[in-house]
Copies of this chain bind each other. A is one copy, B any other.
Amino acid sequence: MKVAVLGTGGGARAHIAKLRELGHEVHVGTRDPKATLARTEPDMMGTPPFKDFLARHPGVQLHPFGAAAAASDGLVISGIDGHNAVAALSAIADELAGKTLIDYAVPFIYQHTPEHPWPTPWGIMPMLDPCDSDSLGEQIQRALPRTKVVKSFVTQEQTTVVDPTSVADGDHTMFVAGEDPDAKQQATDLLKSYGWSDVLDLGPLVAARGMEMYAHMHSAIGFGLGQRFGGHFGIKVVR
């Protein structure tokens, strides 16, 4: 397949590397490719410059967001920061039309507002917007009515999403939600190619609320296990 991955952070890189390993053609989208390639220092999360990653992953093509989406033959994975996702994706609505968009962002608020003081200590977790009465997945679907939005991957570190057997031999559960059954099947097929054996369809996109709000529980479980950043565990639905 020709898959577009929007974003160049750690989560996006996990998917890019895995998709290449699986033999797909990968088109990476970024806001400003020149700026992305000009960076020579790790960012504040310690992520090395994308140029270094590209050098180790030959054949990966870097584009502006819209050109990356246009190069996809059907599947687009969005790793755009939750708070910026609706605006960035709306700007390339034409290029995304007719395609399946898998959104895995958590709409954490990193900005300082009177209602949401920053910095939030990580132990207390950043707050979410939207939350409870709406979700980022639903917002994106409303903004992109011609695109089939699937919420998935969000209940897990992306390094584990692309390598599920690294935890408990892969004996845990991944979730999908969305309005379009074919799009959810595409996402499920991708997950199976990543190594997932248990992919549970939670139904319509309203279930994205639960998936996004699970971020707090995911953080708490990680803390409970003594894994402060980048948790390495899974949850298995037993029934």
Contact = CB atoms under 8 A, between A and B. Distances in A.
A163 interface: no
Contact of A209 (B125, B200, B211, B223): B125
A213 B216 contact: yes
Given A127-B133, A235-B236, A239-B233, A211 B203 contact: no
Contact of A223 (B116, B171, B207): B207
Nearest to A214: B217
Contact of A202 (B213, B221, B232): B221
Contacts of A221: 175, 200, 202, 210, 237
A235 B236 CA distance: 5
A238 interface: yes
A46 interface: no
A14 interface: no
A236 B239 contact: no
Interface in A101-142: 116, 123-125, 127-128, 131-133
Number of copies: 2
Contacts of A131: 131-132
A201 B225 CA distance: 8
20 contacts: A123-B203, A123-B204, A124-B206, A128-B132, A132-B132, A155-B217, A167-B238, A171-B238, A175-B220, A175-B221, A202-B221, A203-B220, A209-B216, A210-B214, A210-B217, A214-B217, A233-B239, A234-B237, A234-B238, A235-B238
Interface of A: 116, 123-125, 127-128, 131-133, 155, 167-168, 171-172, 175, 177, 200-204, 206-207, 209-211, 213-214, 216-221, 223-225, 232-239
